[in-house]
Chain A
Amino acid sequence: MNSGYSAATNDLDYIRRFRGAGACRNMFRKLGKERRQNAVSLVNDGRLFFASLFILRPEIDELNLMEELSERNRTALRICEKMLEEKNLSDEPGSSVPLNSEELHSVLLWMFSTGAYDDGLNDDFDQVLDTSASVLIKTHHEKTILPVMANMVFKRNQKGKYIHDLVWACFQSRDADALRIIASRLRSSAPKDAELARMLLHLPQDVPLRSNYDRQNQYTSYLSWLKENDPYLYFTGESFQFCNEPVPCAVDLEAKYLCKDNSIRVFKPLCQAANEESSSSSNFSKLAEGEKEVLAKHSQKLHRENPSYWNEWMRYPIEKQIHIARNGGGNSYDCNCR
């Protein structure tokens, strides 16, 4: 990620960036007292980065500028207040700020995408970034922020900072792209990055990652596994709050066996299948996990390579299917994903 600052940088951003938050706040306070309209124009500038608005909250209060702020800034400050309030379980549920409005979507996108450059500013700011990402992902299904989120996760991890909420939000996208983006860090020469990528993807920890070859190999193997299973993946909802080795996603073996895409990325037993499928499904569900894996893998491969023979094979009794799969099926990639 570059610095995000260019020649056309807003003065507030410039001062904050190069002289510090204190200098920025002093300048804004002075300007607000002497030339109020100039201060308002600066803070309402479309080019402003969210971090500058965030640090100027006390001055905006002190100068009583709230009503003169742009709609974007007013909404951003209102949502910040909501995100930072210490809510107890016994408090009234629900949010007074409607999270699903299109206006809020664009404001959150501005907050997150310009705020990401200043991740680490302080705990409150980072919390607002994490929560913005959560709302963008969960409420607005805004997946374009995934690469930036992943970048923040790995940068924070390098510094030993808190990553769990951001990781959780990443996987809440239920998007295989989140897995691909994280997987790209398996190739990183920074050991902490590669180790974290491996932990997030729940890959075996005992495979050595010493050389470029090792790292590239694990990356390639994972992508190959992902390519094979992508249509049948579902996200488990497991997180670091739940356990020390969360499994972010798993393969719906029944969907893979029937070659039915799991587009909703949630594990739900297949229903409304055709009669023939329904009977295959019922027989399949009675098998042991190992047999399910062999059969699902073989079915998917056959469907891809020879659809007409797949149709014929699916009509065989399940015992015959297993026999054929065992003799013709390959080894599965040793991934710990369920």
Chain B
Amino acid sequence: MRPDAPTRRRVITIFAAAAASAVTGPARPLEADYAWNGTAMGADATILLNGIDPQTARSRIAAAAAEIDRLEDALSLFRDSSELRRLNRDKVLHSPSGDLRRALALALDIADRSGGLFDPSVQALWEAHVDWFAVAPDAGLPPEGVIDRARAAVNWRRILLEPDTIRTGADQRLTLNGLGQGYVTDRIADLLYSRGLRHVFVDLGEQRAIGARQDGAPWLVARTNAAPFALTDGALATSEGSGCVLGASGAAHHLFDPRNGRSATHWKQITVHHRSAAVADALSTAFYVASSEEIEALLPRFAGTVIWATDHDQCERRWISPPVGGTVG
């Protein structure tokens, strides 16, 4: 009996340990990866949460969805009661939300720095094109007269950002579609970060990473005919004319050059990396309508920017501006 006792005790211990681990194992919050699919600013939206317990995932996503909803109330053109649409209707908006004011201030700042290549008042050009192609989808580009009339309304300098009021010209209509998605992306990313998440990928049309994935690997953003972008921090924004074409033959697209009122043709695709998705978004729009000489001239004004441009012959070019904190022009 006696020599047996330790062995038996040992067996019991092992069984107990096994039983304990069987009991406690599932009780621990199981961390897993979660993907949320929804919509934001009239586009598909995805948020990827890497290594998170389901309860946290649910509560953070609920907060993010509510925040998207709230920001759309300010910035979206696809909601009739949004602040932006009210501004377009009334030409004046009192007590705008901080988000509309900030987004518009950033839009005007980038319009200024880009010499007007980015302009939030291009909505008139979009509406002129949409109206034209709705009536005559096969007729080719709208004539000069139509464009000229619309172009008269395009001038970011006529947008007045007063302390508590936003005013536009009587004929002006604004769009934040060249920056709004990025702005919302920034706000959602900041929200998730402030709620403690560290391995998140937010894709609301523009992509922003909060840290790398848990295993240290970057988030991958695929490209056609090229190696994917690897993103561990900051944001990527891509502008591509073929993303939204107008007319039966695709004669025009949604990226208009404010200077001539026509869809820009320099590039097939422009991708910009910047710390902020809002800035990346606006710059990808601005640089899409710029020639390579203009991009080079403008680049020093935008610190911390990387630009990848693909022209229609699939040739790729890349520019890198000095980092933030360097001499800014």
A and B are interacting partners: no
A interface residues with partner B (beta carbon < 8 Å): none
B interface residues with partner A (beta carbon < 8 Å): none
